Amino acid sequence: MLPPKLEDEHVWETIRTIANPSQPYFPKLMESLFAHAADKHIDATFDFRASDVQNEQLNAVFLDRIRELMTRVFRIHAAVELSTPALMPRTDALDAYQKPALFIDSHGNVVQLPCDQTAPFARYVARTQMTEIKRYCFDRYFVANAAGGQPLTRTAASFDAVTNRSAHTVAAAEVVSVACEVIDALPVFRGAPLALVLNHMAILDAILAFCGLLHPEWAAASDRHTDRDRRTQFIHGVCFCLGSLYWEKPAVIRARVQAVGTSLRVKVTSQSLDRLELFMGVRGDLSTVQREVLARIGSECGMSGTPHAVRGAAYVHAAIRGFSELRYVEATVRHFGVTIPMSCSPLFSHHYSYYEGAYVFQI
């Protein structure tokens, strides 16, 4: 027991000491925590509103039919059903809106239930050293419940293709094709006006770097770890703000990006926001978007012999690589028989930390 009267700093120092996993008392602390009996009031309210039995019974018939249709499409593409482990260590590779359900195991490690189906499968592939597989799964993901008790659950379907680097465009195109086939198989979407939006994260990176919002040297910086984390959170926040680009006015997006910078103590200049706004209305076929993007970020290349010219050329080369790979994806998607209209949106992103340097799409 602690003495009845201690200064605050002594209390906090005691807490820091016993919470250090390297201390000999830490296992005893964990043992004491897990020895607690469940409170009867918590036990009675733990599952309160965790599920709606009546709606779940009603939806089960429809969900079973949807799963049957989707499974048929997945198996046509030679995919096998494969689930991943239920727990994973806490990860910081999450977007701002994701609130994972966090827990502590018996050894004091912070773990989380999956808040999507991508990260657990990526970890599984890395640990098992798989080189080629197509898998699908129907599983739940979990979100933290602010009121405590059961975490909030959602059900999602996932289709993933693991392949070597040389065939990445084919794998990406097949994933797009599978998504379109699933939508075609569902009666509710038949006849609906659909469109496919594509982007390459290299294009987005080039634009953000041109705007002064992303600095490549940040990743290799030798400053404090907290500073690098703050800058990473800033980029994630900017991409999250850009997610509402096509139903919000540019002025609203500017204000949100500025607010993200202020909250994370990252300087965002008016020039950076002005440059970013230049790209907010750019959207269309690949050729048109490539011409407009390169014209904007290549404007500094004309300053011969200056650092601006060097940086401008680097942005152009990065964007050209992204557009070249997108053309291969577009051609392969058409080869798979996808006929819906396609467009390129250079500021579109999805899970920046997941797909850095790769493709993203949305239907």
Indicate the SS3 state at residue 112.
strand
Mean pLDDT of the region 211-239: 70
Q: How far apart are CA 142 and CA 147, in angstroms?
A: 14
Say if pTM beats, i.e. exceeds, 0.85: no
In the DSSP assignment, the letter for residue 300 is G
d(CA 264, CA 260): 6
Q: What is the pLDDT of residue 305?
A: 46
Q: How far apart are the first and last CA of the chain?
A: 60
- Report the amino acid identity of residue 234: F
pLDDT tens sequence across 134-174 = 999 998 888 888 777 788 888 889 999 998 877 888 888 99
pLDDT value for 326: 92
Class of domain 55-162: alpha beta
pLDDT at 304: 46
Amino acid at 277: E
- Please report which confidence band the pLDDT of residue 72 belongs to, taking 50, 70 and 90 as the band edges: very high
3-state class (DSSP) for residue 80: strand
Question: pLDDT at position 247, please?
Answer: 81
The reported pLDDT for the residue numbered 312 is: 63
* Least confident among 38-42, 309-313, 343-347: 309-313
175 or 230, which is more confident? 175
Task: Give the pLDDT band (50/70/90) at residue 60.
Answer: confident
**Which range has the worst mean pLDDT, 9-18, 44-53, 186-195, 287-296?**
44-53
Percent of the chain with pLDDT over 70: 85
Which of 56-60, 180-184, 278-282 shows the lowest per-residue confidence on average (mean pLDDT)?
A: 56-60
Per-residue pLDDT reduced to its tens digit, 86-104: 888 888 777 666 788 888 8
How far CA 225 is from CA of 95, 229, 239, 280, in Å, comes to 19, 6, 22, 32
> Using CA atoms, how far apart are residues 90 and 109, in angstroms rounded to an integer?
9
User: With 60 as the cut, is the pLDDT of residue 107 above it?
Assistant: yes
3-state DSSP assignment of residue 111? strand
SS3 9: helix
Task: Find out whether 361 and 174 touch, Cβ atoms under 8 Å.
Answer: no
pLDDT band per the 50, 70, 90 thresholds, residue 76? very high
Angle between helices 307-335 and 168-185 (to 10 degrees): 50
Within 13 Å of residue 168, how many CA atoms lie on the same side as its CB?
12
Q: Number of H helices and number of E strands within the chain?
A: 12, 9
Distant-in-sequence, close-in-space partners of 243: CB < 8 Å, separation ≥ 6: 349
220 has a pLDDT exceeding 70: no
Q: 77, 132 in Cβ contact below 8 A?
A: no
| Every domain of the chain and the residues it spans | 55-162, 196-362
Alpha carbons within 13 angstroms on the beta-carbon side of residue 259 total 8
Q: Which of the four pLDDT bands, split at 50, 70 and 90, describes residue 311?
A: low
